Amino acid sequence: MQFTASQIASLINGKIEGDTNAYVSSFGKIETATKEQLAFLANPKYEEYLYTTKASIIIINDSQELKQKPAATLIRVPDAYSAFATILAGYKKIITEQLIGIQQPVYISATAKIGENVFIGAFSYVGDNVIIGNNAKIFPQVFLGDNSIIDEGTILYPGVKIYHECIIGKRVTVHANTIIGSDGFGFAPQKDGTFKKVPQIGNVIIEDDVEVGANATIDRATLGSTLIKSGAKLDNLIQIAHNVEVGNNTAIAAQAGISGSTKVGSNVMIGGQAGIVGHIQIADGVKIGAQSGVSKSIKVADSMVVGSPAYEYISALRGLAIIPNLPDLKKRIMELEQLVQQLLTEKIPD
């Protein structure tokens, strides 16, 4: 499949510098791209490769100044990274739209409802009363529990497990081996030291345009719904506990965990390996640094926290700035203590 510079520029509203008939048939990183590949430059530290790459076409920012004329044809756009993402999304859509039909062997309940242009991969299981919307792509070894709903345009990659009653919205992407709707961690301590399981009879609702990475786990609610709102992006290896709510367009990096019944606002960014306790609230626009431990509600919108326990970002930076000076400060304190001791032991004249 080949695309010319003119076709690419029209797709991303770019301005061509060079041969409008230059064409590409695949993609490559700017530092290693070869002839007939499309690359992009967004990070200034890779600028040197702009002049040495063998890529045929390169997407660059409007603001990029040239030190010399590159061999490649350039396409200028306001945001090269976003423009390249648009192209990749279009390419991926073309590839996935070609997947249509039902492979064998599969199990599909007689009561399931399957839309048009659906793909269901081999060894998948589709339970009773499942609804699969138009253009959904169900890759091999996916499990869809009874009464679950997979809306149109959603992609479930190999090994995804959707438990009973869960609802997945439009254009959702769930990557391999993620589990949605497993029991929340609910156990009532007993007087004899044992634990009594609290049945988890709610579900999980994932709204439109959400992406969930591989090997993530989203637990079903005890009652009601665990809710992932539209546009949220979850990385690999994330744990979302029962009755959690994740707001619109919130992004959570790998290995983060959110405990039960916590409400996370919209446009929040949570760094990798961060941990958030249960039954608290995180305001809209909050940024939580990697490996932070959040132990109480963050009520100020657009604030930043870091550390464990997490606290305000600027204060944390000031504290970190002091650490390298601690050995010198300790030495000075010891010298002062010795001086004070000497003054105290000296005989004071009458």
Active-site amino acid positions? 242
- Between vectors from CA 90 to CA 37 and to CA 248, what angle results, nearest 5°? 125
In this structure, which amino acid lies at residue 209? Answer: D
Half-sphere exposure of 139 toward its Cβ, with a 13 Å CA cutoff?
16
> Which residues is 99 bridged to in the sheet?
none
Owner of token pair 């039960």? 260
Q: What are the φ/ψ torsions at residue 81 (nearest 5 degrees)? A: -65, -45
Integer-rounded Cα radius of gyration of the chain: 28
Short-list 171, 116, 168, 169, CA closest to 143: 168
> Which residues is 58 bridged to in the sheet?
39, 74
Please answer whether residues 58 and 40 qualify as being in contact, where contact means their C-beta atoms are separated by less than 8 angstroms: yes
Can you tell me whether residue 242 is helix, strand or coil?
coil
Please answer whether residues 308 and 291 qualify as being in contact, where contact means their C-beta atoms are separated by less than 8 angstroms: yes
Q: What are the φ/ψ torsions at residue 126 (nearest 5 degrees)? A: -120, 110
